[in-house]
Amino acid sequence: MGVDRVDRLVLFCFTTTTVAIVGMAFDYWQLVYYSIPVLTALFMLMAALNRREEWSRPVVVGVAVFGGVMLTLFVAGNVALHTDGRIGGLPVATAVFLYAIWPVTTVAAPLLFAWAYHKWLRHDVEDAETGSVVS
């Protein structure tokens, strides 16, 4: 049995999750922190595969852009963690979460799904609309 795309993605998920576990167990918060955008992008990439394990190039680019934006915001939050400035009444790192990461992930991520579904994933379920159920 050869190694396919899902195998590789599962390997990446395994590695990222293991790294996160090390951070959780030995108090390296950065390892846990950065596992969040990485795992999110990996799961979205896995879900962007159709039943024949094919990707749509525009959808992969869309997921990569979203993952990149999320990672950038996480880096910004990290860099600003111990600064003294304030944005919108909050310390900068908290402001990055409350005014940027929260709204971006709440709105952009589901919009990305709606676009990916319309563009690509819906073709995967069209044949399920007809025919009878198997017990």
d(CA 49, CA 86): 42
What is the CB neighbour count within 10 angstroms for residue 53? Answer: 10
Smallest distance, Å, CB 86 to other proteins? 7
What is the CB neighbour count within 10 angstroms for residue 12? Answer: 16
Instruction: Enumerate residues 49-108 that contact other proteins by CB under 8 A.
Output: 49, 51, 77, 81, 86, 88-91, 93-94, 97-98, 101-103, 105-107
| Residue 13 binds other proteins, judged by CB under 8 A | yes
CA 40 distance to own-chain centroid: 2
Instruction: Give the DSSP H/E element, type plus range, for residue 95.
Output: helix 92-95
Find the binder of other proteins among 55, 73, 75, 117 (CB under 8 A). 117
C-alpha torsion 110→48→121→6, nearest 10: -140
Please report, as ranges, the residues that interact with other proteins according to CB under 8 A. 1-2, 4, 6-7, 9-10, 13-14, 17-18, 20-21, 23-25, 27-29, 32-33, 35-36, 39-40, 43-44, 46-49, 51, 77, 81, 86, 88-91, 93-94, 97-98, 101-103, 105-107, 109-114, 116-118, 121-122, 124-129, 131, 133-135
